[in-house]
Amino acid sequence: MKKRLELKDLYYLPNEPKIFLEHLKMDFFNDRIFIFTPKGDVVDLPEDSSPIDFAYSIHSDIGNHVFGAKINGKMSHIFSKLKNRDIVEIIKKKDAHPSSKWLGSVKTTIAKKHIKSYLEKNSLLTKLKSFGHS
């Protein structure tokens, strides 16, 4: 169950600003995880994100060609759930492409948008329609 930030919890007590800020930080970061690239850059993602979400947050071309992932130096499935402070390296392959199965394992809007876009552009119906207009 997701925690809601309620107005009564935000009531500012001038003599207790540190407590107020601490509660605000906990609520703000509650459903977020911070993932690191091998070079040490930080990527902010929702809880239960996958390496696919991570890849799309870096660049759509990386996301569209995810083949595998190393999480904390170990080969992992691209549908694995990432944990706070994981170090993720994406393994790309030129002929790897999104599938509809990917939609069930991503959490970010940007990943869903790019996967749907790729699937629409590369659907058989779209290819058949464009074939007749060439």
Which residue range(s) make up the domain with 42?
31-128
* Cβ neighbours of residue 77 closer than 8 Å, sequence gap 6 or more: 69
- Taking only the tens of pLDDT, the chain with its 134 residues reads 344 444 444 445 556 667 666 655 555 556 899 999 999 999 999 999 999 999 999 999 999 999 999 999 999 999 999 999 999 999 999 999 999 999 999 999 999 999 999 999 988 766 676 666 55
Query: Using an 8 Å Cβ cutoff, are 52 and 105 in contact?
Result: yes
Is residue 89 domain-resident?
Answer: yes
Lateral strand order in the sheet of 66-71: 74-76, 66-71, 88-92
Which three-class secondary structure state does DSSP give residue 39? coil
Is residue 97 domain-resident?
Answer: yes
Q: Of 93, 41, 30, which is closest to residue 78 (Cα–Cα)? A: 93
Q: How many domains does the chain have?
A: 1
